[in-house]
Amino acid sequence: MSWRLLCIRWFTSVLQRICPRNGPQLHQPAVNKYYKEFRGYSEMFLPVREIMNPMGYSNWKTYLDETFVRAFEAYYIPKTEGNQSAERFIQSQEALGFYLVGRVYGVYLTDYLPNREKYPTFKSFMLELARLMGDWYGEGFWKNISPEPTIRIAFMAFKADGVKVYAAQNLSESTYVKSYVEMLENAGFKVTFTDKLENGNLIVIAPLNSSVTCKLNRYVEIRGNSVVLNGVKYSNGVFLVEALRNPKGGFAMLIAGTPDVFEKKPSGGGDESLLNYHYFVYITSLKRAVAFG
């Protein structure tokens, strides 16, 4: 059985537990029936269309379907992992481009689930959800949506426009940082050091437990000097990379690791095109990656 099918079956069972009377048929049939109520807001898909197409969501309707499903998934997470995990999930979905998940999740909690007598099925809630969508459309906030970059996009910007390196906690003298900067320069990057978070393209290299990592980290769970993946803590030889949009302009990339990794040189190899010069990421459309070395 494929991973995708297993996920679909698992999530169907989740929805059945949340809304047992109509779990398996919550979203897609409801959107199919009431799509005309949402069609007028299809411009809300435009800011994310470019990044959604490769993910298989090529139009407003499929995007809407997936937004509703992911918002319900966010509702279920606190039941098993706590509210903080739900907030992190919503942030990660918004960074992926599903920027309405948080709003729809809030509506599920405040309008739909407490009023099941008024809305016995998800279909019966669709007109109200469409009305709220119209309010959000009217706010115009979606015109300023700018999804977070992928690692590849960030690297390409660094290659084209140059990049500043901020190494926290005196890591600028570490074996890793010295070698990493040398590799970037050999690959044709214009690299300068900075002693603070500032505007423009920025690579931030820091220990996992540093305050700057805590400030920037978005996608991967960190506990002290450990990375947590699928509930398992890894405390030695761990790197993570997260590509972000610098709120002060440009792109930022966080490279955080356990103390031992900064005592080593980055893995080399690659060509002048760059992207093989990264420690472990290579050419990737991911927004975050974790590696062991």
Q: What is the pLDDT of residue 11?
A: 41
Tokens of 70: 């992911």
Separation in Å, CA 256 to CA 47, 117, 172, 213, 220: 30, 49, 13, 7, 11
Average pLDDT over residues 91-114: 87
Domain match, 65 and 191 both: no
Domain match, 132 and 227 both: no
pLDDT bracket for residue 17 (50, 70, 90): very low
Question: Residue 177's domain spans which residues?
Answer: 151-292
pLDDT in tens, 106-127: 999 899 989 999 999 888 999 9
DSSP category for residue 199: S
Domain match, 115 and 163 both: no
Q: Which of 70, 103, 112 is nearest to 89 (CA)?
A: 70
Domain match, 223 and 174 both: yes
Domain match, 23 and 82 both: yes
Domain match, 138 and 163 both: no
Q: Is the pLDDT of residue 222 over 80?
A: yes
pLDDT in tens, 161-205: 899 999 998 899 999 899 889 888 888 889 999 999 999 999 999
Domain end residue (candidates: 118, 144, 170): 144
Q: What is the pLDDT of residue 24?
A: 32
pTM value surpassing 0.85: no
Q: What is the pLDDT of residue 230?
A: 76
Domain match, 101 and 20 both: yes
